[in-house]
Amino acid sequence: MSGPGAGVVVGVDIGGTKVLAGAVAEDGTVVRTATRTTPGRRVVTQQVEDALVAAVLAAAEGEPLAGVGVAAAGFVDSAGERVMFAPHLPWQGQPLRDLLVARLGCPVGLDNDANCAARAEAHHGAARGAASALMITMGTGIGGAVLLDGRVVRGANGMAGEFGHMQVVPDGQACECGRRGCWEQYSSGNALVRSARGLMAEQPSVLLEMSGGRPEAVTGPMVTAAAEGGDLVARRAFTSIGDWLGVGVANLVAALDPEVVVIGGGVSAAGDRLLEPARAALRRTLVGAAHRRVPPLVAAELGPGAGMIGAARLVRDAQVLR
């Protein structure tokens, strides 16, 4: 993207409800963005591709396209050519990358959203300069990525980074995946809400009022708001998922010994309320903590645009852009 005639690099993040596209500069700066609504899962794939292309063109604003990176909320094959399966998107193995190359007339890169977000943090965010990093994305569940030598480890099936379903409690909480004791049952947005509901049965909480007396109506944002207001139940819920965050991170650090651990995703907005108990648990649970530099556990820096920024990075790294 250096030199005249280079054109613009656009990153797109396509989730279940929204397509977010942005023109992204070499240094990760987002120059301008455009959004479209995701048509859904039960439509023909072309409708989603149309929305994607529309968002890209809107973000490019007439500039020639030097490259487009796509971050998709689903399983992407290890070659980065197809979305194999996605809970909220219609693709099931169609050659999406080639199809977009044909429609957009420029190089296209494709990866899943957690990998793209990790790539963005590695180049422009909290893991900048680290030779190795672990990225944990906490939303309703847990996703993530492993970064080595600044590269994302994609795995033989493109399925590396499925941290949320590592078993941390034998015979533990039942998981939607059909197994028990998965990490994300103890540390995630859903776990935060479940923990708060359970604690409401034990001690008074403003959450009772906020939920109209119905614990089943409590939501994650309610717990976050209550914790900020000093509610003890909400704070205990954050401590619980933070502690489990640290326990799971310790297992991954024992295996991979990364330089830094970055926590992203919606739940990470809680900052130290989440991270402090996680750090304590990491120090407590990590093997050989006395004989090593325990990696810093830090919040992601790029916010909800990380997937888009990392998608742009993907296509830049994949070729010399001219």
Stretch that binds its own copies, among 17-25, 49-57, 107-115, 169-177 (CB under 8 A): 169-177
Distance CA 210, CA 218 (A): 8
Alpha carbon 105 to chain centroid, angstroms: 29
7, 150, 172, 303: residue in contact with its own copies (rule CB under 8 A): 172
User: For residue 247, what are the contacts with CB-CB under 8 A and spacing of at least 6?
Assistant: 168, 281, 282, 285
Amino acid at 104: L
Distance CA 38, CA 70 (A): 14
Stretch that binds its own copies, among 59-67, 193-201, 219-227, 309-317 (CB under 8 A): 193-201
76, 127, 199, 270: residue in contact with its own copies (rule CB under 8 A): 199
DSSP-assigned beta bridge partners for residue 22? 11, 33
Select 156 or 320, whichever has its Cβ closest to its own copies: 156
39, 220, 242, 258: residue in contact with its own copies (rule CB under 8 A): 258
Is residue 200 close enough to count as binding its own copies by CB under 8 A? yes
Distance CA 258, CA 144 (A): 14
16, 46, 85, 95: residue in contact with its own copies (rule CB under 8 A): 85
Distance CA 148, CA 77 (A): 20
Contact criterion met (CB below 8 Å) for 100 and 93? no
Select 27 or 202, whichever has its Cβ closest to its own copies: 202
Is residue 99 close enough to count as binding its own copies by CB under 8 A? no
DSSP-assigned beta bridge partners for residue 24? 30
DSSP-assigned beta bridge partners for residue 76? 83
Is residue 114 close enough to count as binding its own copies by CB under 8 A? no
Stretch that binds its own copies, among 11-19, 28-36, 118-126, 284-292 (CB under 8 A): 284-292
Interface positions with its own copies (CB under 8 A): 75, 84-85, 131-132, 146, 148, 153-175, 177-180, 182, 186, 194, 197-202, 247, 250-252, 254-259, 284-285, 287-293, 295
